[in-house]
Structure 1
Amino acid sequence: MNAVRLALGSAVALSLSAASLAQTDPDTGKSDFCARLAANIGVEKTKIVDGNTQWTANALNFGQRVLFGGTAVTSVRAEPAEATSVEEYQRALGMCVAEGKGAACRLIGPVDFTLGWKGESTTTRVLDGERALVRVENTKTSCHAGVH
């Protein structure tokens, strides 16, 4: 029983450490919002275009799309990073809107962005001054840093 608690505690600590490392300040040049979001949700294939991270990932692998019809639930939400005014709360809520067959979030920091993807819900901070565009359509999610 103690071994199970220790293993669970170690896994939680490791998970928290990885999330903390992924929240790197873009001023250091180590990462931007899309790089941190990719690290937080497990996207490994990213590319740098004009100094900004971009990626597109599918919530289902090829086998899941073929065998199970390619459905997945993805959710997006933007909320103020700190307790703030009603206007700031409304500004954050208006960043994600239905668009086409999915949703688009035009993020301007500081704001906390929550992505529900592959059965997990992950919150990643968009730092002050950062901009990013996150699109969700069907089972695909894409992120483009530095874009609004």
Structure 2
Amino acid sequence: MKKVITGVVVLVMLSFTTTFANTIDNNESVNKRVERSFKKEFASAKLTSWTKVSNLFKAEFTMNGQVMFAYLNEEGEVVGVYRNILSDQLPIQLLTELKDDYSDYWITTLFEMVKDNGTSYYIALENGTHQLVLKSDNSNNWFVYSKIKK
């Protein structure tokens, strides 16, 4: 399961920088198991659109006025749900650490991911020389998930 979650995170991060998802059109449909599972889990979802990302189905939808994304596997199991957030929506400890330790970086992507084992936050930062992805699983501190020198 950990490999699947790590894969989803990589897919989410890549989806912000590359276009590799295939929009599902009328000739190709989401399997019934996935669709039933989604409707059960997200009964109040509106404006749902589907794409296929690798071996997962990605649903983009609106719920309670918030655009959200859910990844489901072929069996209809929800692998993860994420939403983009603003930095002021982070737990205060994470926001403080960002301001103290990463003030020379700007935020390029920030999202909250919810999965079976809890909520995680991911943030992509950039400055003149590096691109960083930080992760927090405990809402108390960040750790470097990846670092790339430009």
TM, length-normalised to structure 1: 0.27
Higher RCO (CA < 8 A, seq sep 6+): 1
TM, length-normalised to structure 2: 0.26
Higher helix residue share: 1
